[in-house]
Amino acid sequence: MIVILKPNPNRDQLDSLIAWLQEKGVVIHTSVGEHSTILGLVGDTSQLDADLIAALDIVEGVRRIQEPYKKANRKFHPEDTVVQVGNTQVGGGNLTLMAGPCSVESEEQVVAIAKAVKASGATLLRGGAFKPRTSPYSFQGLGAMGLEFLKVARQETGLPIVTELMDMSQLPLFKDVDLIQIGARNMQNFDLLKAVGQQDKPVMIKRGMSATYEEWLMSAEYVMAGGNPNVILCERGVRTFETYTRNTLDITAIPVLRKLTHLPIIIDPSHAAGKSWLVDPLARGAVAAGCDGLLIEVHNDPATALCDGPQSLRPEVFDTLARKLLTLHETMKTLEG
Amino acid sequence: MIVILKPNPNRDQLDSLIAWLQEKGVVIHTSVGEHSTILGLVGDTSQLDADLIAALDIVEGVRRIQEPYKKANRKFHPEDTVVQVGNTQVGGGNLTLMAGPCSVESEEQVVAIAKAVKASGATLLRGGAFKPRTSPYSFQGLGAMGLEFLKVARQETGLPIVTELMDMSQLPLFKDVDLIQIGARNMQNFDLLKAVGQQDKPVMIKRGMSATYEEWLMSAEYVMAGGNPNVILCERGVRTFETYTRNTLDITAIPVLRKLTHLPIIIDPSHAAGKSWLVDPLARGAVAAGCDGLLIEVHNDPATALCDGPQSLRPEVFDTLARKLLTLHETMKTLEG
Amino acid sequence: MIVILKPNPNRDQLDSLIAWLQEKGVVIHTSVGEHSTILGLVGDTSQLDADLIAALDIVEGVRRIQEPYKKANRKFHPEDTVVQVGNTQVGGGNLTLMAGPCSVESEEQVVAIAKAVKASGATLLRGGAFKPRTSPYSFQGLGAMGLEFLKVARQETGLPIVTELMDMSQLPLFKDVDLIQIGARNMQNFDLLKAVGQQDKPVMIKRGMSATYEEWLMSAEYVMAGGNPNVILCERGVRTFETYTRNTLDITAIPVLRKLTHLPIIIDPSHAAGKSWLVDPLARGAVAAGCDGLLIEVHNDPATALCDGPQSLRPEVFDTLARKLLTLHETMKTLEG
Amino acid sequence: MIVILKPNPNRDQLDSLIAWLQEKGVVIHTSVGEHSTILGLVGDTSQLDADLIAALDIVEGVRRIQEPYKKANRKFHPEDTVVQVGNTQVGGGNLTLMAGPCSVESEEQVVAIAKAVKASGATLLRGGAFKPRTSPYSFQGLGAMGLEFLKVARQETGLPIVTELMDMSQLPLFKDVDLIQIGARNMQNFDLLKAVGQQDKPVMIKRGMSATYEEWLMSAEYVMAGGNPNVILCERGVRTFETYTRNTLDITAIPVLRKLTHLPIIIDPSHAAGKSWLVDPLARGAVAAGCDGLLIEVHNDPATALCDGPQSLRPEVFDTLARKLLTLHETMKTLEG
């Protein structure tokens, strides 16, 4: 951490700052310049509050040098993390296809879709039972019954299931779920992150709509700090000024996160675009850029889906896409050596 | 609602759309143009899912005409809502000053600050007991004990208290709080909004960091739809590309919300700016633009505050500011006639 | 265009609005609902000023139905435009690689790089002679001499050249350039757009840093309205809240523009990322998503480049990447059928 | 400037970096920590290219300490700059009201509006002759004839005139204009900035739609580096996700710029909001927050204005507002002591 002092700092205040920093076990290197004096703080600065130091009268500014996350940081954990989800593995060179309906609507629906997507190559079944909806007047999901239908579909197909947890009070219902999804709107619901950090199921954290990489990784850090190392990151588009699409998919997240963290990276082209005809090109781009998997909405009757129909693919369209993506993934492996 | 059809729509699909809309009790006016046909839907269109209709093969686009919120909508509730909070009223021509520390740190601290801000003209005491922090390694608040210290301060000063609720599991602890704050990061934590909608304490909803006015009002609608009409809105800055300040305060929210809704509007210049020296000019601007009140951080020792010190005012600085703001509010009343 | 009237509009004002609209040759369909009356305007509404109508006392709002661009609109020009640039074609199924240094520094430098990138498969040479720099104290480019060096490199390699025009006063110097680039900061420099619309060299328009697709297409429309149909669009990242990268590359632009317009779409991963190690994965993603070409910075000594060194690839790195991208492009053609 | 080295940097590369920095006249302080080594560069670092250093193999990152602007920087010019514009002064405690039509439409129109706004207290007449319009099919302004009408209005009222310059080729026509406006879309048209820097008329630079304070001040620096110290800054709203208003007015710019620079700060509430009924509350907020003046659109017949009608005030509405703002400005002076 670097502390830039204002010109001619009050000597007493400077001495008391230095004493306080030394007490924290930090070694201080001082550089005196013509216009400003700089303190270089060396040691474990993670417990220092940069904002607090910046607020001191004698301080012009503070610059952080180290990332504020540790357990999620590739620097301290160089190997890729591979997360075991039921009978499948996320990360480690696989291309994981998670597919299924936005909302679970009935046992028949989810079983039929599960069978279809499995046949196309999906290895995880997604489906919403508890649904975050902008309007209190919209369909809020089947809740506990939706979870039961997902379990039936798992029994019929063997596909592990991933579904969204919206509040920690629902956690007991999720003890039989294979992968817990934290939605974009809850990315900084810190109590929820703590709760899933204190249990042992894998957790997939969607990026908040206007979150930076660092904020997202700090949310992963919350879960990991609680003792749960099985975290997957899912990019689902960020908010930009463009209104033609619902959000703007950020594929740069793939190589950047690959460098910053060891956690697997999944891409959700369905929610990012909000339009089914964009899922195919975005999924292709994400695979070519090196993601570990995709989360894709598939519905047997998108036009009458209870939610998010516009972005769902019919099973036959998903089938063509899935085969193309798996081939592309193999090609990329060859090209990348 | 307006439905724009693609050129030469399939006749059968069009008939089935029209039949389905009529079944919903909607009257349809058709305008046939050279390039496109337009359906004007008249009646209660609030239960129609615009995205679903937009997903149909024959539909080019859908334009909503009416706001999706009702209980929060001034069109259906023309008079200003005045919210009773303990012994004070928010809205209705008052300028409410809510002041206090970011975090409750000790009984002595919060009582001392409460006495000071009351003497300066504040009518509500703010203070955080449960704190949303970006890092799991930062101080997370005193929790239940912090609430107890706030109650002591209320007893000593008579000031009603406002504090943040982070998870519905904490709700039993809040039964003696006067005003429940929902933080910006929880603005779309829909389960939490439902929970505070089903109890009767007033609720102050902070705007999400990148939320639109409509999304914010839909969050108010969640609380009101649950049966709780006592909602206050609090603007605390939106995220922009500017990194000099923490966020960018949006004072346009004041006149726009005044038109769209009947709910009171509070401004938080402390969190918006993240720098104490900006609180004064921003608070002045907000009062002149017509807000119902301000939420201001005051700390007796900002440089050693456990969180958010940089944006806190010392009690003597708040005293000068509070007097200035109350005078300015009176001037504005005179000028606005 | 749809005009939504306020409840109980003043009858005289409504009559005068209707008369004025009819005078403009527009046919009006009126839908009277319980809460609002809607006017559906049919005919050529492109010359109506929506904002002007929205400002009338009796009007609640206006919704546009048609895109405001025509010449750039695929609806009125269904076939892909292929732009001839010197001896090469942009669009039409090719993958065009435009490569070269950010800034032209010397004849030797640009000739050497031109030879290298040609050998790797590039078909256009890029290089900046006039440079837009944020600081007046930074290197501003070699100007006219830089253009001369580019021409020498063209003579030596046969590669057509693309370089940025910053002001219309420089246009006479560009009469021997093959493709004129309009930079992101000048995307809405309307006088410059008009000037390049009135000459016949092809023009490549970079997307403004926070421009929407529609604003970008309107800039293409400016050039085309002047009589020059040879326009290429270049996505180079949009501004988001992420500060880790310079900008965020928007590959969704590829399929969306493919639908909205017939113009070729080039992707610039170098400027988007601002970091050379991100160029490879972003370029792969862009090719897989279906772009017509890439604009890539190549420098023989990035660490001492006079500008933008951090994002330049060494020729040998570009060589590997170019071969990979051309193979990937062939694979995509096979996969897409 | 601070250079953070990667762990175990190559010794030869480090020596060559240090030699190169010393050659530039910079003094280097080295701090060796457990995880990283930090170089503190002291002296005139303004000519060092931070991005270039950041691109070196051995460098992890670079942090700037000093602002990149000098002439616009209050640190090196502590007193407020007061800009003489014709017979009036901008800055120095005045509240300057610049008012007039968005577009000059006829001599009668602009003379009538000029007389009205002068009577209400305006001291500068604004009016557009060359108009930046998003669509090539919209009215582009009266051009040179519009400038003539503005001069007639000046002759009739004595009000100095401010109008927008869009391209340096128009500069000869502007030799009789009192204040040259650079529009938001041209804020980074560097050739235009250089051109107005090399002449001596005062220049008002509008903030780009998504520009940071630093980028805006760098544009002022371009003009000042050319030799013209008479620069005024004008905030006109930044782009946010909110679509209810055209842009979001950033009043935080007022106190922040007051600290960073000595140049006067004008606020344009008309363009920011895009709705006439928002001009009053936003203008009040801006005056209370301490701006040096306002730029307000006034039109005698907003509903038939050739452009931007929706945000124009009628003269009688402006009259009430102007008196209110001047009173508020006096009150603020008293309150601020």
Measured between alpha carbons, how far is residue C116 from residues A76, C104, C122, C125, D15 in Å? 39, 15, 9, 11, 31
* DSSP states along A85-105: ETTEEESTT--EEEEE-SB--
Other beta carbons within 10 angstroms of residue B92's beta carbon come to 13
Q: Does B144 touch chain C (CB under 8 A)?
A: no
C-alpha span between A125 and A129 (Å, rounded): 13
Out of B133, B188, B209, closest to residue A210 by CB: B209
β-pair type (A293-297, A96-100): parallel
Judge: A278–C332 Cβ closer than 8 Å, yes or no.
Answer: no
C-alpha span between A197 and A231 (Å, rounded): 9
Q: Considering chain A, what is the average pLDDT of its residues? A: 92
Which of B217, B242, B260 to substitute to test the interface with D, most D CBs within 10 Å?
A: B242
Q: Considering chain B, what is the average pLDDT of its residues? A: 92
B314, B99 contact by CB (below 8 A)? no
DSSP state of B7: S
Please report, rounded to a whole number, the percentage of residues in chain B having pLDDT higher than 90: 72
Q: Looking at residue A304, what is its pLDDT?
A: 66
Instruction: Chain C: give the shortest CA distance to residue A273, in Å.
Output: 8
Q: Provide the pLDDT confidence category of residue A68 given band limits of 50, 70 and 90.
A: confident
Q: Looking at residue C316, what is its pLDDT?
A: 96
Residues 257-286 of B with CB under 8 A from A: 274, 276
Does residue C257 sit in helix, strand or coil? Answer: helix
Q: Looking at residue A43, what is its pLDDT?
A: 76
A28-42, C250-264, D83-97, D134-148: least confidently modelled range: A28-42
With 80 as the cut, is the pLDDT of residue D167 above it?
A: yes
Q: Looking at residue B304, what is its pLDDT?
A: 66
Measured between alpha carbons, how far is residue C127 from residues A218, C100, D214, D309 in Å? 41, 6, 28, 44
Does residue D31 sit in helix, strand or coil? Answer: strand
With 80 as the cut, is the pLDDT of residue A39 above it?
A: yes
C-alpha span between C264 and C96 (Å, rounded): 10
Buried b (16+ CB within 10 A) or exposed e, C144-162: eebbbbbeebbebbebbbb
Size of interface A-B (CB pairs under 8 A): 118
Q: Looking at residue D65, what is its pLDDT?
A: 76
Nearest in space to D236 (alpha carbons), one of D184, D292, D278:
D184
Nearest in space to A122 (alpha carbons), one of A294, A284, A328:
A294
Q: Looking at residue C34, what is its pLDDT?
A: 64
Residues 48-87 of B with CB under 8 A from A: 49, 51-52, 54-57, 68
Q: Looking at residue B307, what is its pLDDT?
A: 61
Q: Does D95 touch chain B (CB under 8 A)?
A: no
The H or E element that residue D156 is part of is helix D144-157
Q: Looking at residue B25, what is its pLDDT?
A: 83
With 70 as the cut, is the pLDDT of residue B250 above it?
A: yes
C-alpha span between A240 and A234 (Å, rounded): 18
Q: Provide the pLDDT confidence category of residue A173 given band limits of 50, 70 and 90.
A: very high
Displacement of CA C112 from its chain's centroid (Å): 28
Residues 208-237 of B with CB under 8 A from A: 209-210, 215, 218, 221-222, 225-226
Q: Does C11 touch chain B (CB under 8 A)?
A: no
Measured between its terminal Cα atoms, the distance across chain C in Å is 39
With 90 as the cut, is the pLDDT of residue D26 above it?
A: no
Nearest in space to A269 (alpha carbons), one of C252, C29, D214, C69:
C252
Residues 285-324 of D with CB under 8 A from B: 285-290, 324
- What is the number of residues in chain C? 337
Judge: A40–D43 Cβ closer than 8 Å, yes or no.
Answer: no
Q: Does B129 touch chain A (CB under 8 A)?
A: no
Buried b (16+ CB within 10 A) or exposed e, B131-148: bbbbbbbbebbbeeebbb
With 80 as the cut, is the pLDDT of residue A11 above it?
A: yes
Instruction: Chain A: give the shortest CA distance to residue D92, in Å.
Output: 27
Which of D51, D133, D299 to substitute to test the interface with C, most C CBs within 10 Å?
A: D51
Instruction: Chain A: give the shortest CA distance to residue D239, in Å.
Output: 8
Q: Looking at residue A17, what is its pLDDT?
A: 86
Residues of C whose CB is below 8 A from A324 = 335
C-alpha span between D286 and D293 (Å, rounded): 9
Judge: B248–D252 Cβ closer than 8 Å, yes or no.
Answer: yes
Q: Looking at residue D295, what is its pLDDT?
A: 98
Sheet holding C59-63, edge to edge: C27-32, C37-42, C2-5, C59-63
D160, D119 contact by CB (below 8 A)? no
Mean pLDDT of B140-167: 97
Nearest in space to A190 (alpha carbons), one of A227, A219, A229, A224:
A219
User: What is the per-residue pLDDT across A277-295, written as a single tens digit (0 to 9) for each?
Assistant: 999 999 999 999 999 999 9
Which of A34, A42, A243 to substitute to test the interface with D, most D CBs within 10 Å?
A: A42
Predicted TM-score (pTM) of the model is 0.93
B266-280, C17-31, D209-223: least confidently modelled range: C17-31
D179, D85 contact by CB (below 8 A)? yes
User: What is the per-residue pLDDT across A215-224, written as a single tens digit (0 to 9) for each?
Assistant: 999 999 999 9
Measured between its terminal Cα atoms, the distance across chain B in Å is 39
- What is the number of residues in chain B? 337
Q: Looking at residue D209, what is its pLDDT?
A: 95
Residues of C whose CB is below 8 A from D55 = 276, 302-303, 309-310
Judge: D240–B241 Cβ closer than 8 Å, yes or no.
Answer: no
Judge: D243–B212 Cβ closer than 8 Å, yes or no.
Answer: yes
The tens-digit pLDDT sequence of chain C (337 residues) is 888 888 888 888 888 888 888 888 888 888 776 667 888 887 777 777 777 787 777 888 888 777 889 999 998 999 999 999 999 999 999 999 999 999 999 999 999 999 999 999 999 999 999 999 988 988 889 999 999 999 999 999 999 999 999 999 999 999 999 999 999 999 999 999 999 999 999 999 999 999 999 999 999 999 999 999 999 999 999 999 999 999 999 999 999 999 999 999 999 999 999 999 999 999 999 999 999 999 999 998 876 666 666 789 999 999 999 999 999 999 999 998 7
C-alpha span between C290 and A165 (Å, rounded): 36
User: What is the per-residue pLDDT across B60-84, written as a single tens digit (0 to 9) for each?
Assistant: 888 877 788 999 999 899 999 999 9
Residues of C whose CB is below 8 A from B35 = 66
C-alpha span between D157 and D164 (Å, rounded): 20
Nearest in space to B261 (alpha carbons), one of B107, B90, B75:
B75
Q: Which residue has better confidence, A202 or D136?
A: A202
Instruction: Chain B: give the shortest CA distance to residue D284, in Å.
Output: 5
Which residues, at least 6 apart from A58, have a Cβ–Cβ distance to it below 8 Å? A5, A6, A9, A10, A13, A14, A17
Q: Which residue has better confidence, A144 or D49?
A: A144
- Specify the amino acid at residue C270: S
C-alpha span between D258 and D217 (Å, rounded): 12
Nearest in space to C53 (alpha carbons), one of C8, C12, C7, C13:
C13
β-pair type (C203-206, C231-235): parallel
H helices within A121-204, ranges in order? Answer: 144-157, 190-197
With 90 as the cut, is the pLDDT of residue D296 above it?
A: yes
Does residue A84 sit in helix, strand or coil? Answer: strand
Q: Looking at residue D34, what is its pLDDT?
A: 64
Residues of B whose CB is below 8 A from D287 = 288
- Subunits that touch chain B (at least 3 Cβ pairs < 8 angstroms)? A, C, D
Tell me the β-bridge partners of D59: D5
The H or E element that residue B182 is part of is strand B179-182
Instruction: Chain B: give the shortest CA distance to residue D108, in Å.
Output: 33
D72, D271 contact by CB (below 8 A)? no
Measured between its terminal Cα atoms, the distance across chain D in Å is 39
With 70 as the cut, is the pLDDT of residue D153 above it?
A: yes
With 90 as the cut, is the pLDDT of residue A10 above it?
A: no
A46-50, A270-274, B326-330, C227-231: least confidently modelled range: A46-50
H helices within B144-273, ranges in order? Answer: 144-157, 190-197, 213-225, 253-260, 269-273
Which of A251, A270, A275, A276 to substitute to test the interface with C, most C CBs within 10 Å?
A: A251
Angle between helical axes of C144-157 and C107-120 (0-180°, round to 10): 40
* DSSP states along A229-255: --EEEEE--B--S--SSSSB--TTHHH
Q: Looking at residue A306, what is its pLDDT?
A: 60
Judge: A134–B188 Cβ closer than 8 Å, yes or no.
Answer: yes
Give the chain C residue whose CA is nearest to the CA of B36: C42
Which residues, at least 6 apart from D192, have a Cβ–Cβ distance to it below 8 Å? C167, D165, D167, D168, D182, D186
Q: Does C327 touch chain A (CB under 8 A)?
A: yes
Out of D32, D40, D243, closest to residue A38 by CB: D40
With 70 as the cut, is the pLDDT of residue A307 above it?
A: no
User: What is the per-residue pLDDT across C157-182, written as a single tens digit (0 to 9) for each?
Assistant: 999 999 999 999 999 999 999 999 99
